Every structure is written in structure tokens, then in C-alpha cells.
Amino acid sequence: MSIRKVVKYGEKSLREPSKEVHKVSQKIKNLVQDLLDTMYKENGVGLAAPQIGENLRIFVIDVSTDKEPLNPRVFINPKIIKKSGACISHEGCLSFPEAFTDVRRYANVMIKALDTNGRSFILEAKDGSLLARAIQHEFDHLDGILFIDHSINRFEADEELKNKNLPPIQVEKLLDEPELAEAVNKLKEEELKKN
């Protein structure tokens, strides 16, 4: 198919909620292929449709390493049906070139979605794995939520954005996640005790 331009942070479409896909048509299959081609070209782990300017509830992920064969996963109309635990994730995003910051994530997620044949499936990712974190990251894009909205330290995140010539954090978009914040604080305390 084709390599698409990745929408950068600051463009309005990244903040818009995406629409459900009503039919897994050839047009949707072509869009999925564009997402995969673009993700691989940009060396990404995941890519959501809004990141290429298509506000549809679709994202792709491939967490395979250099030593493994490609293992693309497609999620159409995904819904996170279960989440638990907490982890700290050092994340970046193709829409934020070279910017990284620590964010709060759930350690375990269960997601239900459709594949490119329109068949429903359920996938579970555990223990703060890259897959678990990537699912949450890409899922957020479909609701106009960005990884920086989960920042553990918004001032560090702002400094990182400034250093990469990106717009500052939108304070009103920061997520209030008391349950997750508490769990992450416990994790940090346990780490300190170990050291």
C-alpha cells in the first residue's frame, strides 16, 4: 500500500475522538496496510489511525524484536474490558519525534477487538509487558488521549517537549488517575527499599 505522513503533536486531529468502523471493507483493509507499512518504516511498535489523519477506531502493534519474525496485530473497534496492577513505562510516540517520558500504565490489560476479517478476538497482556503498555498507548489515541497526559512528572515531560521543539503539555488534558498514581507510588517505594 503506501507510507503515510505521521501527524505531529500540536495538530488538532490527535485530540479528536475516533469513530467506530461499521464494516471491515477493502478501504479499511487498505488503511490497515498503510498503518502497518508506516509503522515499520518509522520503526514504531504501534500506530493508531488518528496518527495518519484518519479518525477511525483502528490501531496496529508489533512488539517482535530484531531476532523474531514480524508479528503484526490489528485492532479494529477495540474495547479494554479489564485492567489491573500498575507499572511505570518510559514511552515515546511517533507523533512526538525523539521525545520520551515516564508515564503511569496498568500492568495487565484484556482487550476485545475485530481483526481484518471482521472476526472478534480477545487478547490478554500481562506484567507490564511491552504489549500491555502498547495496547494502552494506542487505545488512548482513539479517544484523543496522548501518552504525556499520563505523565508521572509533568515538569520533566514539559522540559523534554521543549528540548524537542514540541508544544508544551496541555495541563487541562492531564489525567487524574488517583488509583494508578497510588499503585505507582507503592512501586517506587518498593524499588527504594530494594536499593
Tell me whether residue 38 is in a domain: yes
Is this structure's pTM higher than 0.85?
A: yes
In whole angstroms, give the CA distance from residue 180 to residue 103: 10
> What is the span of the domain harbouring residue 95?
12-194
At 82-140, the pLDDT tens digits run 999 999 999 999 999 999 999 999 999 999 999 999 999 999 999 999 999 999 999 99
CB-CB contact of 6 with 42 (8 Å): yes
Which of 17, 128, 139 shows the shortest CA–CA distance to 79? Answer: 139
State how far the Cα of 177 lies from the Cα of 51, in Å rounded to an integer. 25
Residue 188 CA to residue 67 CA, distance in Å, equals 32
pLDDT in tens, 151-174: 999 999 999 999 999 999 999 999
Classify the C-alpha dihedral 82-73-105-146 as positive or negative: negative
Name every residue whose Cβ is closer than 8 Å to that of residue 136 and which is 6 or more positions away in sequence: 80, 83, 105, 106, 109
Q: Are 146 and 91 in contact (CB under 8 A)?
A: no
Q: Is 151 within 8 Å of 114 (Cβ atoms)?
A: no
- Any domain includes 1: no
Q: Which residues contact 70 (CB under 8 A, 6 or more apart)?
A: 40, 62, 64
Place of cell 520503526: 43
Name the H helices within 25-177: 26-41, 130-141, 154-163
Question: Does 55 map to a domain?
Answer: yes
In a domain, 7, yes or no: no
For residue 3, being part of any structural domain is answered with no
Write out pLDDT tens, residues 37-87: 999 999 999 999 999 999 999 999 999 988 899 999 999 999 999 999 999
pLDDT value, residue 193: 86
Q: Tell me what pLDDT residue 1 has.
A: 67
* CATH code of the domain in which 84 resides: 3.90.45.10
- 42 flagged as catalytic: no
CA dist., res. 13 & res. 19, Å (int): 12
Task: Catalytic residue, from 11, 20, 54, 138: name it.
Answer: 138
Residue 6 maps to a domain: no
Q: Helices then strands (H, E): number in the chain? A: 4, 7
Q: State the amino acid at position 25 in one-letter form.
A: S
Q: How many domains does the chain have?
A: 1
